[in-house]
Structure 1
Amino acid sequence: MKRSTLNVTFAIGFLAVAMGILVARANPATTYESSVYMATPAVVWVGFALALAIAVSTALTCRGREQGYGVALGATTVTAIVSLPAIRNYRFSGMGDALSHLGWTRDIVNGEMGPHELFYPGFHAIASVLYHVGGIPIERGLMLTVAIVFVPFLVFIPLVVREIAGDGMAIGIAAIVSWMVLPINNIATHMGIHTNSNALFLVPVVVFAFVAYLNRRATIERLPFGLSPFSLLIYLTGIGLLLVHPQQMINVVVLLGAISVAQYLARTRYDDHPMLDHPTTYAHTAVLGIIFSVWAVSNERFRNAAEGLIAGIFEEDVGGGAEVDQRESSLEEVGGSLGELFVTMFLDLAVVSLIVGLFILLVWLGRSTVDSETKSFVNYLSIALIPLTGMFVLYFVGTPTMAFRQIGFIAVILTILAGVALARAIGALSNVITVPAGTAVAALLLGACLILGLMTVYASPIIYSPSQHVTDHQFSGYESALEYGDEDTPLVGYGTDPYRYDHAINGVEGEENLGAATTASGSVEPDEFESGNYSGAYNGVGYNFVVTEYDTTRELDVYQELHHSEAALEAIEYDDDADKIISNDEFRMYDVSGEQ
């Protein structure tokens, strides 16, 4: 393609992204949205789709500067998609942990606590800086921080693959696979304010630091204490990851430990091997391991999590098997199936895992055509997958949530390896047909996977999980409930415990009102509530019952009245024991008398 034609093509792509962002910005959310996909105007998706089509084709067919433009176009588009809650002016996005993170950030901003008092303050510190320096509201600052932390994932995945393989096709494919955002599974990793998930997007930065260290072999420009600039980069990126979330730091230490073991075995078994030319990672593994240990063991929250994992391993009916059985039963009751959900959420990852697995097998059998240097890096990462997968099995038995977080980290490594593996697969296919035909097949396959990946990057009813959009009405409703409600009266939710809103509004340090969800807050007991016994639906005591548009969407539309019915919710309006005391378009609170 002529350069002038390429320039026009790139201009069209970037213009399409810009127009999509402007249209999305001009159509802000005005009410609760159960799906950001459905609520965003169709013309926005047309613009993004056009930009991604150009990005995929140019990333595969162009080289050098032009390929860089294609990769930048795709990364910009995906970043825009990830930033839609902020672009469309959501008040906040995220419930559960996200609301507690909002509370911690509020505590830091208000001086109730210092960043160093948090176990992992990195994410909150960025949002606090945006507040103090830019005057950006805390809620919006956190949503912007999601995008800030996400960008390194899109930048460093292709950079790592360039260091490993140096092949233009591999770089382009790695970039496209990174746009699928495979680490997000919406079970335990989420696109939003969820620091464990956010930390996954910084892992490629640490991996790049190690690959650069192994490749550069710097012997000059030494820093004090014999450090090379690349060693210092390893420590700095590792500590940065620790400050965002320590669980991913554990995985990095395991990754480095596996590399160290591979290097040791190579040095004891071979006299001539590419790994022998690489500087060792023993010291880096030890230093980062010590840093993590000192940081984690001194924290009570980490100790409690470790104890919970050990207890879960040895207890019956705890672990992934029980969790899967429970989810499968619930899905069947609402007309879904585990197989359907797996295809929607994990087909991309399954396809990539299969291709990468076959590629690793060929490398280990000596049937691959990759050069010895690339093979060494592939071996480093593939050997590391063994203990990382072992950790997944351990988590799956003990704490299923941690297991799916572990899948997120493994997905980062698979994304890197996918660039090399798919490039070799396309090269082999091109030898059978033709290069243009092989590239076209790759574009179609990757394009289809990209669509599926981006369809599930956010929670939505398509995966039986409504958007965690927090509106102005919901926020103001809870603010009124917490300010004017009786402190001695429990605040009780419809299917969920509302105590997280106390964190978000008053800060976690002021959590004494609703606290740890004991007698101060909770959710109504479904059987009693559905039978019309509202006064006995929460331990027989009087309570303030709150219900939001999010609650009704989840329970009535998405869950199809699996636990709660619309009839029972409507009947509380006319019950003698319930009085509506707060109401707006998306929030209601009732004062319900107790039996006692």
Structure 2
Amino acid sequence: MNRTLLNTALAVGFLALAFAIGVARRSPPSGYEPSIYTATPTLTWLGVGLALAIAIGLTIGTRGPYQAGAMALGGLTVTAVVSLPVIRNYHFQGLGDALTHLGWVRDFTQGTMTPHELFYPGLHSIATAVHMAGGISMERAVMMSVIILFVPFVVFVPLIARAITGTAGAAGFAAIVSWMVLPVNNVATHMGPHTNSNALFIVPVALFAVVAYLGRRGDLERLPFGISPFTFLLIFVGAGILLVHPQQMVNVVVVLAALAGVQMLASLRSANHPISTHPRMHTPAVLLGVLFVLWAAANERFRRAFSGLVYGLFVQDIGTGAEVGQRGGSLTEIGGSLLELFVLMFLVAAIIGTIAALFVLANWLGRTQLDSDARAYITYLALALVPLFGMFLVYFFGTPTMAFRQVGFIYVLLTILGGIALAHLFGWLSGFLTTPGSNALAAIFVSACLVLTLMTLFASPTIYQPTQHVTEQQQFGYDTALETRADERLFAGFGYGISRYGDAYHGTEAGTEINYDGGAGGQVLVEEFERGNYSGAYHGADYYFTVSAFDETRELEVYQELHHSREALEEIEGDPDVNRLISNDEFRMYEVEGE
């Protein structure tokens, strides 16, 4: 392909992306959106699709500045998709933990808490700085901080692949796999304000520092006393991951310790082994381990989490089996299945993981054309997965949610290995199909993977989870409810409680002494509510009943009235013991007299 066509293709790609962003920007939400995908204009998705198609084609089929431009185009396009809640002017995105994180930003801003008092203040500190320096709302600052922490992922994954293999092909495929955002599984890792997930996206910076540290050669790359400048970079990035979320920093320490162990075993086997010539990883592993211990030892939140894990391991009822069975039954009742959900959420991850595993096996059998250093790096990453998988098993039987967070970290490493593996797979196929044929097959394969992964990047009814879109009216309704609360009366929600909104309104730390639900769970009792016994639907107590557009969408449309019915919700209006106090298009609150 001549330069004119390449230049034109890149220009069209960037113009398509700019057009897509412009169209999305001009279509703000008019109310709660059950699916960010269907609510975003079709023209935006056409522009995104064209930009990604050009980025994929040129990343695979070209080298040099054109490949670099295509990788930049693809990275920007995926970042734009990640940024859709900001581009389309969402008031806020994220329920649950996201609202609690917003509350900590409020604590920082109003001075009821300082950053060093929080176990992981990274996201909140960035958001506070953006809020105060930019003069934008705290909600928007939190969403922008998510984007800031995401960008290193699409930048450093291809850099690591290039540093390991020295080939542009591996860097290109690694870039494409990074666009799939495989660490997000929507079970325990999410695209939004969720610090454990956000920390995953800066892990590649630490891994790049590790590869650079291992690859240093000669005195010119060393500081006095034989210290590498990459040691300081690794410690600095590790501290950053620690501040965003310590669990992922622990995983980084485990990777470094695994690398140090591999080096020790290689040295015992042969002094001439390529791994034996690499700089030792013991010092960085110990330094980051000590840093974590010093930060975590005195923190009460860490002690509670660790105690919960140990308790889960020794209590027979804790685990995933019953929960999976229950959810599988619920999916069947609303016309879905666990197999369907697995295909939507994990099929691409499983395929990439399998390809990476087969590539590692081929590398160990000497069936790849990598040099000794590159083979050593592949061995490092592959063997580091062993203790990481062991931790997954511990979490699986102790605290199942943590297990899927561990899967997110494992897929940071598999993204790198998967990209390198795909480059070698399609390079091998070019010997049978010719290079253009292999490139075409590769483009079709990764395009299909990208479509499937990007359509499950955010929660949506496609995966039986409505988009966690918090509208201004919805938050205003909850804020008004909290402002006008009388006599410490309790709150009960329609499938979702008010306590997280209390964090966002009062501040998470500032509101620790406030009792929202009397320890009763914050949700109405389903059986009593469905029988029309509204007075007895919250353990017989007087309470405020709250329902938002999100609640109605989830319970009545996505869950197809599996737990709550539209009829029971509508009939509350006519109950003599119920008075509507607050009402707008996105939120209602009723005062209910107890039995």
Give the TM-score category using the shorter length. over 0.9
- State the Cα deviation string for residues 201-221 of structure 1 (Å, max 9, x = none): 000000000101111235336
The SS at the match of 2:522 is strand
Residue of structure 1 equivalent to 2:108: 108
More moved, 126-135 vs 543-552: 126-135
The SS at the match of 1:492 is strand
1:440 partnered with 2:436:
no
Q: State the TM-score, normalized to the length of structure 1.
A: 0.98
Verify the 8 A CA contact 1:323 1:400 in the aligned structure 2: no
Residue of structure 1 equivalent to 2:157: 157
Instruction: Write the letter of the residue equivalent to 1:380.
Output: Y
In 1, the alpha carbon distance for the partners of 2:553 and 2:24 equals 23
Could you list the runs of 5+ residues in structure 2 that have no partner in the other structure?
none
Verify the 8 A CA contact 1:491 1:520 in the aligned structure 2: no
More moved, 92-101 vs 355-364: 355-364
Deviation at 1:514, TM superposition (A): 4.2
Verify the 8 A CA contact 1:490 1:521 in the aligned structure 2: no
In 1, the alpha carbon distance for the partners of 2:327 and 2:383 equals 33
1:148 partnered with 2:148:
yes
Residue of structure 2 equivalent to 1:31: 31
Verify the 8 A CA contact 1:186 1:459 in the aligned structure 2: yes
Deviation at 1:223, TM superposition (A): 4.2
Residue of structure 2 equivalent to 1:121: 121
Instruction: Write the letter of the residue equivalent to 1:53.
Output: A
CA change 1:218–1:465 in 2 (3 A) is: farther
Deviation at 1:271, TM superposition (A): 2.6
Deviation at 1:517, TM superposition (A): 4.7
1:537 partnered with 2:553:
no
In 1, the alpha carbon distance for the partners of 2:492 and 2:224 equals 59
- State the Cα deviation string for residues 536-559 of structure 1 (Å, max 9, x = none): 000101100000000000000001
Residue of structure 2 equivalent to 1:318: 318
Q: State the TM-score, normalized to the length of structure 2.
A: 0.98
Residue of structure 2 equivalent to 1:371: 371
Q: How does 1:194-233 map to 2 (within 5 A)?
A: 194-217=194-217, 219-220=219-220, 222-223=222-223, 226-233=226-233
Instruction: Write the letter of the residue equivalent to 2:345.
Output: M
The SS at the match of 2:509 is helix
Instruction: Write the letter of the residue equivalent to 2:82.
Output: V
Q: How does 1:38-77 map to 2 (within 5 A)?
A: 38-77=38-77
Deviation at 1:225, TM superposition (A): 6.1
CA change 1:487–1:284 in 2 (3 A) is: farther
Instruction: Write the letter of the residue equivalent to 1:445.
Output: F
Residue of structure 1 equivalent to 2:139: 139
In 2, the alpha carbon distance for the partners of 1:219 and 1:123 equals 38
CA change 1:588–1:320 in 2 (3 A) is: same
The SS at the match of 1:415 is helix
Instruction: Indicate the percent of aligned positions where both proteins have the same amino acid.
Output: 56
The SS at the match of 2:451 is helix
In 2, the alpha carbon distance for the partners of 1:433 and 1:180 equals 26
In 2, the alpha carbon distance for the partners of 1:495 and 1:382 equals 43
The SS at the match of 2:162 is helix
Instruction: Write the letter of the residue equivalent to 2:131.
Output: Y
More moved, 186-195 vs 318-327: 318-327
In 2, the alpha carbon distance for the partners of 1:99 and 1:211 equals 37
Residue of structure 1 equivalent to 2:17: 17
Q: How does 1:170-569 map to 2 (within 5 A)?
A: 170-217=170-217, 219-220=219-220, 222-223=222-223, 226-512=226-512, 514-515=514-515, 517-519=517-519, 522-569=522-569
Residue of structure 1 equivalent to 2:4: 4
In 1, the alpha carbon distance for the partners of 2:514 and 2:523 equals 13
The SS at the match of 2:546 is strand
Deviation at 1:520, TM superposition (A): 7.9
The SS at the match of 2:335 is coil
- State the Cα deviation string for residues 148-192 of structure 1 (Å, max 9, x = none): 100000000000001001111111100000000000000000000
CA change 1:221–1:351 in 2 (3 A) is: closer
Instruction: Write the letter of the residue equivalent to 1:191.
Output: M
Instruction: Write the letter of the residue equivalent to 2:245.
Output: H
Deviation at 1:274, TM superposition (A): 1.4
- State the Cα deviation string for residues 228-266 of structure 1 (Å, max 9, x = none): 211110100100110000000111011011100111111
Verify the 8 A CA contact 2:154 2:179 in the aligned structure 1: yes
The SS at the match of 1:28 is coil
- State the Cα deviation string for residues 507-563 of structure 1 (Å, max 9, x = none): 012324644753487110000000000000001011000000000000000011111
The SS at the match of 2:188 is coil
In 2, the alpha carbon distance for the partners of 1:516 and 1:398 equals 29
Deviation at 1:425, TM superposition (A): 0.7
Residue of structure 2 equivalent to 1:586: 586
CA change 1:106–1:520 in 2 (3 A) is: farther
The SS at the match of 2:211 is helix
- State the Cα deviation string for residues 433-458 of structure 1 (Å, max 9, x = none): 21110111111000100110100000
In 1, the alpha carbon distance for the partners of 2:524 and 2:563 equals 11
Instruction: Write the letter of the residue equivalent to 1:145.
Output: S
In 1, the alpha carbon distance for the partners of 2:201 and 2:487 equals 41
In 2, the alpha carbon distance for the partners of 1:80 and 1:487 equals 47
Could you list the runs of 5+ residues in structure 1 that have no partner in the other structure?
none
Verify the 8 A CA contact 1:352 1:414 in the aligned structure 2: yes
Verify the 8 A CA contact 2:465 2:558 in the aligned structure 1: yes
CA change 1:29–1:384 in 2 (3 A) is: same
Deviation at 1:498, TM superposition (A): 1.2
The SS at the match of 1:579 is strand
Verify the 8 A CA contact 1:256 1:285 in the aligned structure 2: yes
The SS at the match of 1:290 is helix
Instruction: Write the letter of the residue equivalent to 2:322.
Output: A
1:90 partnered with 2:83:
no
In 2, the alpha carbon distance for the partners of 1:97 and 1:464 equals 19
Deviation at 1:3, TM superposition (A): 1.1
In 1, the alpha carbon distance for the partners of 2:285 and 2:64 equals 35
Deviation at 1:141, TM superposition (A): 0.5
In 2, the alpha carbon distance for the partners of 1:225 and 1:111 equals 43
In 2, the alpha carbon distance for the partners of 1:464 and 1:517 equals 27
In 2, the alpha carbon distance for the partners of 1:280 and 1:23 equals 52
- State the Cα deviation string for residues 63-110 of structure 1 (Å, max 9, x = none): 111111000000000000000001111110000000000000011011
CA change 1:358–1:512 in 2 (3 A) is: closer
In 1, the alpha carbon distance for the partners of 2:507 and 2:225 equals 43
More moved, 210-219 vs 63-72: 210-219
More moved, 564-573 vs 369-378: 369-378
Deviation at 1:318, TM superposition (A): 1.3
